[in-house]
Amino acid sequence: MCRKKSFMIRRGMLEEFEVFLKERESAKATISKYRSDIKVFMEFMGTERRVTKQKLIEYKDWLAQRYALSSANSMLVALNQFLDCLGMGGWKVRRFKVQPQCFRAEEKEMTGEEYRLLRETAKNRGRNSLP
């Protein structure tokens, strides 16, 4: 665990984080996603600029209430990279455990009528089978 009790969010941190990610040869899409995720963290912090480990845990709980766990986890990955950039890697937050789905949700299953329409459309387009 890092010995510091807190650190302050200051101007320019987001830009420093972007440079950090570029130096790690992160993809442009990754950099864009992480920037967006850190902006969400900064919005969560509001006018409070002092970050503590407790505040990070509160942020994690806040994410769980507002996002799917897989989305919250991707935002925590960005936060952990941000902490690495700041030399605060000892403050990393654990991701949520997500149980794999063994079965598809019923609403994602194709109905018999949808299947019939799909087959009919394929037939009308001159295809004997579906790809």
Residue 119 lies in a domain: no
Nearest Cα residue to 2 out of 91, 82, 94, 93: 91
- Residues 6 or more apart whose CB falls under 8 angstroms from that of 9 comprise 42, 45, 49, 51
> Would you say residue 78 lies in a domain?
yes
Residue 126 within any structural domain of the chain: no
- Residue 57 within any structural domain of the chain: yes
What is the domain-level CATH number for residue 64? 1.10.150.130
Extract the tokens encoding 54. Answer: 């407790």
Is 11 a member of any domain? yes
CA atoms of 59 and 51, how far apart (whole Å): 11
Q: Where are the beta strands (DSSP E) in the chain?
A: 7-8, 50-51
pLDDT digits (tens, 9 = 90+) for 79-121: 999 999 999 999 999 999 987 766 666 677 888 888 888 888 8
51 within a domain of the structure (yes/no): yes
pTM of the model: 0.73
- Report pLDDT for 103: 63
Q: Is residue 129 part of a domain?
A: no
User: Over 80: is that where the pLDDT of 129 sits?
Assistant: no
The pLDDT of residue 105 is 66
What's the total number of domains in the chain? 1
Domain that holds residue 86: 7-97
Task: Scan for tokens 């407790």, then name that residue.
Answer: 54
The residues near 43 (Cβ < 8 Å, ≥ 6 apart) are: none
In this predicted structure, what is the pLDDT of residue 100? 76
Reduced to 3 states (helix: H, G, I; strand: E, B; else coil), residue 7 is strand
Q: What's the whole-number mean pLDDT along residues 50-74?
A: 96
Report yes or no on 112 lying in a domain. no
Residue 2 above 80 pLDDT? Answer: no
| Confidence grade of residue 123 (pLDDT, cut at 50, 70, 90) | confident
